[in-house]
Structure formats: structure tokens, C-alpha cells
Amino acid sequence: MTVTSLRSFPSLPSHPSLPSLPSLPSSARRPADDDLSVWPASAEDRPDGRLSVAGVALDGIAEQYGTPVYVLDEDEVRRRCRAYRDAFPEAEVHYAAKAFLCRALARWVEEEGLGLDVCSAGELELAVAAGFPAERILLHGNAKSPEDLRAALRLKVGRIVIDSPAEIARIAAAVPPGAEQRVMLRITPGIGAGGHAKIRTGSEGQKFGLSLRDGHAQHAVSRVLGQPRLRLTGLHCHLGSQITGVKPYLSAVRRLVGLMARTRDLYGVVLPELDLGGGHGVAYRPGDPVLDPTALAHRVRAELIESCAGAGLPVPRLIIEPGRAVVGPAGVAVYRVLAVKATAARVFVAVDGGMSDNPRPALYGVRYAPRLIGRRSVAEPVRTTVAGRHCEAGDVLAEDVALPGDVRPGDLLAVPVAGAYHLSMASSYNLVGRPPVVAVSEGTSRLLVRRETLADLRARDVGV
């Protein structure tokens, strides 16, 4: 297990002379520390180069807890929960636990009045163990295991989102006699939206949902309504992730209201709920587009009212499921620089983490804006690739970013917008343990999730 601190580098050499490097584009001529727009609102750039979040210096966090380390601003999470509640006062807002979940976060979300959606028995059991009310939880998943369904029924989750025809009979057979389980149907509306092909889930030809186009959705409605132990409360869709425009959601509203109208006409059933999922985009670098929840709420509500009026339907209760937009901008990853290598084209800065704690750049080509913390540099910026420590050429955390030309081993780099889909997707590749999570609030820090140690990894290996 590698946990580095400044004491690991007793004598830091000065940066070697760099070869002449190609000019940086005008948008990247200054290091990222000039702009804190994508950092938590509490982030403060101190005159000595130290950066604090919620009144806690990030270099102090690195010294106390080691690196890599994830820092989560509790007040930023709570502020974003409230922003969604304010934007959607008549809707149910469910935090998407797949973005990141720990017991403390489940408690914050519950205290701020949000529901929760989970994708496994593990997420469900952890949330309930933290005190989250099961009736405010939705269970998702395109391939729910028997364990997932047993846990959902035992704990009495609020709704199970059915994703395939096979689940209908499985769930109905597992509901105890005399009981009833509320369910929704996940519909594939044939809308492609999202920041990358691998995270577009509302289009045809992928694994999620029941297609409107081929009739599977309508057939599933009929089958669920024929199950006395299941109560169909509404329709669900999820279009994708990192969506920054409103129009795809408006198209989804129109198509799902159309299915609701056909359900009423064919079966005399008016469905009371419509879940538009999440996927709300955030800015990872200054200037990136974002999805404004207030604008989304206003236009979705207007479209829902208009579409329902045209179909002669009452307006259903709206449900949304933000995940990244709640926790992503509240998180910061802090790494220690281990090596600096200059080539004719660029400088490689290698850190003590990588694709084991953040696989997103390798999976989706995501771009970040890391910055030097812990000291002030006056060196000119150079074209830099921040590389991870793992034995993969694709283990790159940030490509073609501007960092000071005097970055050296022992320095600290911080990566903003690291709260979502980093640690939740982490692995122990190369038997490197997963980093800890530290919460900061009002000038104090506390450990939420401890570092995974070599002892933890050894304990799982029982095959001697």
C-alpha cells in the first residue's frame, strides 16, 4: 500500500531543464489555479498557494490522511440537495447512489429531504443500515440478482423499477401472499443523449429498459397490470449521463405521456408517477456547459402540463434522480507527485493514484483541470500529462493541461469535481488499495471511509 506524505521526500530536487515544448493553446496558457469556478463554493486560494475547502487546507488533509485522498465538502452536498428541492418543490428528488455512497452521505441526503435510488443489495443494505427509510428508496438494475430482490422485498423498498419482461413474474412470485409491491417500468424512449456513447442509455440497441418502438413497453404494461401482487405506479426512463441540454428531457416527457395515454385508453388505468431519471451534466473544467436544475424544472413542468392537457390526463407526480450533480462538484481528489519526465512533446507528471481510483478518463476520455496546491509557483505553465501509477498506457488522469513548469516529486496536485464515479468505480488494480474519503465542514475534517490496506487485500485471498 502506497500512502505518501511530504516526509517521504526529504530532499526535493529542483526541476530539470525542460526541452522546448510546443506552444499551449490560448485557453490553457495559465495553470488551472486561476479559476475556481468548478471547485466547491467554499474553496479559497490563499496568498501562499495553499488551497482550502470549507476552511481546511488540502495540503494539511494530505499530511494527516496520506495520499491519494478524496475530500468531500459536506456543506456543498447539502447545498446542492437544497437547490434541487427548491427547483422541484412538487417533485420527488432521489439521489442516485451509484455516483457515490457511504453511510454519512446517505444520512446527509436523508436529512435534506431527498429519496434514494440504488442498484444493488449492497447499496440498499448500506443505506438502510445508516438509517435511510426504505420506503423512500427505488431499486434499479437491468439484471437484478435474487439477492437484490430478496433484500428489496424484505426491507420493503418504496418501488422496484422493472427493466425486463422476465422480472415481472420473478418479482410477483417473490411477493408474500397478501402483500403488494409498488413497481415502475423502465422505458427506452429512443432518445440518445449524454456525453459519451458508453453512457447514453435512452437510445435503442442498448441493455436498459423496454422499447417503445418494438412494443415491448406496451406489452409489459399489460403483464404488470395482470399481476395482483404488483401495483404499477408509473413509468421511468433514464436517457444517459452528463446531459447538458433540456430538449432530450422534453422529448422524453412527450413520449412517455403518450404511453400513459395509451395505458388509460386500453386498460382504464391512470398512472400517477413519471420518473425522468437523472444524468444532469456538470462542468469538469472552467467554461464547460452545465445543466441548470432551475431551468430544467421550469421547462419540464411546462411540457408535462401541456402534454397531459393534450392527452386529457392529470399531471403525474414527477420524480428525478440526480447523482453526479449533487456530489460530483463537492469532491476533490488529492495526489502526491512521484515522478516528472520531460519529453520533446510534453511533460509527464506521475502521481500516486490513477485508474484504480478514477477509471473515467480511461473509459470515457473525461477531461479534468488539476492544479498545484501547497505552494505558490511563478514558473511558466507547460503542456503536461498527469499520469497514474498503473501498468497501462491508458492510465492518464489529465491530458494536455497547463501546470507550472517547476512541478517536482513531492508536490501535491488536486483534481476538482471528483465526488462522483471516482471511488464508486474504484478497483484494487495492481493490488493498490482504494483511497479514503474525508469530509470537511466549517474548518474541521473527519474520516468517512478509511483507506483500503494491504492487510484488507491479503485477508480476501484465502487460497493458500
Question: What is the identity of the amino acid at 324?
Answer: R
Distance CA 419, CA 322 (A): 13
Cβ atoms 12, 409 nearer than 8 A: yes
Picking from 170, 208, 126, the residue whose alpha carbon sits closest to that of residue 217 is 208
- Please give the Cα distance from 427 to 147 (Å, whole number): 23
- Residue 215 region, left (φ>0) first, then alpha (ψ -120 to 50), else beta? left
C-alpha cell of 231? 401495483
Strand partners, 203: none
- Interatomic CA distance for residues 13 and 330, integer angstroms: 34
Spatial separation of the C-alpha atoms in residues 353 and 390, rounded to whole Å: 8
Query: Any catalytic annotation for residue 391?
Result: yes
Judge whether 234 and 253 are in contact, CB under 8 Å. Answer: no
CA dihedral 418, 424, 425, 428 (to 10 degrees): 100
Q: Is 22 exposed, middle or buried (0-12, 13-18, 19+ CB in 10 A)?
A: exposed
Q: Which secondary structure element, helix H or strand E, spans residue 123, and what is its range? A: helix 121-129
**Adjacent-strand bridge partners of 330:** none
Q: What is the DSSP pairing of strand 412-416 with strand 437-441?
A: unpaired
Rg (C-alpha) for the chain, rounded Å, is 24
Nearest alpha carbon to residue 387 among 419, 362, 418, 416: 362
Catalytic residue ranges: 391
